[in-house]
Structure 1
């Protein structure tokens, strides 16, 4: 990304050698590249985690113990052990097995690479938390909505696809946003397996400049900016999936004529 180095050169001209601004400008490309790696880790693992969490949650709500016991053990393990231990188990632990080291491309291209080990670990970790969120949301879907779907003759699969899961997703959005923010902060642990994410790039720069306080503060500001963007995106998603919660705040004139009864007129603002 040549634009980052052009921006760095331009900022160095503005700082005129004044510290710590000159060092900020000089090492800005490395920090931005680390921030981009962090953002990819959070987004990819968040998507993979929610895709894995949906079947886990569906199995957890089953009344058959043969179906829910394994997801329960999985969730219990990943929620009950530190993320750092999980990263080390994937990155260092799997290499202890000769069969994995001889697995060809799976070892050469995936399991021996810190980037993919971090994504695998974060995906498995966040899937456990999201699965529990989904389980609670599925069980909290109003019974009347499920009965209405049954009255329309929808099959069990269509009930989940068209009614229960979309409703549950809207319910978990605030808590899911918090989980993504926690995952963003937890992504700093990826630097412990030599990955140059934002924290890894920051530590690399500090080893050259010995400016600990200055660059840790800058890294904190960059994490805050990323977190602010994520929070804003989740606010938009909440407004889209939970639009019904704002219905009483619509002007009465914008409502369908059949809905303009006295109760809504009294509560509309």
Structure 2
């Protein structure tokens, strides 16, 4: 029995590089994109703000699985993309890239809400203090945003974990990640223990991530400790 479990584990681990690389890439890209979107939401361009809010509505209001499938299978319905946009086609024809785009856009939508909410939660007095010092809005954001992001770490750590768990859906577009190998083993042996091992691996990854983010949060908010 132990040999069988070790064999399952050794096979499942083959999917870890895909799961980890996809998670790390999507988290970094989504974080950078959400910072840009948060800044733009504080602009005076109503059309731009409305466009960003519409994007957030689309990606927070629809299931991640649907987004992954549409991004992977959708462009194949348009031969013009393959014929006229070879560079774009070379990217979206790879399942890893499609999964990366879907996870990034989905996470960025949620992360933008987190960062924007943290920014709006900053006491009005701090905005007024910057105005009194003669700072414009761009300069004020440079001062206030780092503080707001520190306060958002607690909520943002949950979003990071959601991204890792979201990678479990990419096996639907032929990616052999951790869940992809889980389905491969389950289709061959049909044993419940395979899901238990897979869940344990995800639990270990997210547990380490959670502990790391708690440590980062503690250090980031150390200035608030009496």
TM-score range (shorter-chain normalised) is: over 0.9
TM-score, structure 2 normalization = 0.92
State whether structure 2 residue 110 is matched by structure 1 residue 129: yes
Distance in 1 separating the partners of 2:92 and 2:221: 40
State whether structure 2 residue 95 is matched by structure 1 residue 114: yes
- Contact kept in structure 1, 2:26 and 2:103, CA below 8 Å: yes
Distance in 1 separating the partners of 2:138 and 2:188: 58
Question: Could you tell me which residue of structure 2 aligns to residue 175 of structure 1?
Answer: 155
Tell me how far 1:153 sits from its aligned partner.
4.1
Higher relative contact order (CA 8 A, sep 6+): 2
Question: Could you tell me which residue of structure 2 aligns to residue 66 of structure 1?
Answer: 47
State whether structure 2 residue 18 is matched by structure 1 residue 37: yes
Question: Could you tell me which residue of structure 1 aligns to residue 37 of structure 2?
Answer: 56
How do 1:1-269 and structure 2 match up within 5 A? 19=1, 21-102=2-83, 103-108=85-90, 110-161=91-142, 163-211=143-191, 213-246=192-225, 248=226
Q: Which has the larger radius of gyration?
A: 1
Distance in 1 separating the partners of 2:16 and 2:203: 11
Tell me how far 1:114 sits from its aligned partner.
0.8
Distance in 2 separating the partners of 1:150 and 1:230: 39
Question: Could you tell me which residue of structure 2 aligns to residue 264 of structure 1?
Answer: none
Q: Secondary structure at the match of 2:176?
A: coil
**Per-residue displacement from partner, 1:8-31 (whole Å, max 9, x unpaired)?**
xxxxxxxxxxx1x21232243331
Change (3 A) 1:154 1:40: same
**Per-residue displacement from partner, 1:141-188 (whole Å, max 9, x unpaired)?**
122323333444444323212x22101111211111111112222211
Distance in 2 separating the partners of 1:29 and 1:159: 52
**Per-residue displacement from partner, 1:187-207 (whole Å, max 9, x unpaired)?**
111011111111111111222
Unaligned runs of 5+ in 1: 1-18, 249-269
Distance in 1 separating the partners of 2:211 and 2:95: 30
Backbone CA RMSD of aligned residues = 1.7
Question: Could you tell me which residue of structure 2 aligns to residue 259 of structure 1?
Answer: none
- Contact kept in structure 1, 2:43 and 2:49, CA below 8 Å: yes
| Most deviating of 43-52 and 219-228 | 43-52
Report how many residues are paired. Answer: 225
Distance in 2 separating the partners of 1:67 and 1:210: 51
Tell me how far 1:104 sits from its aligned partner.
2.2
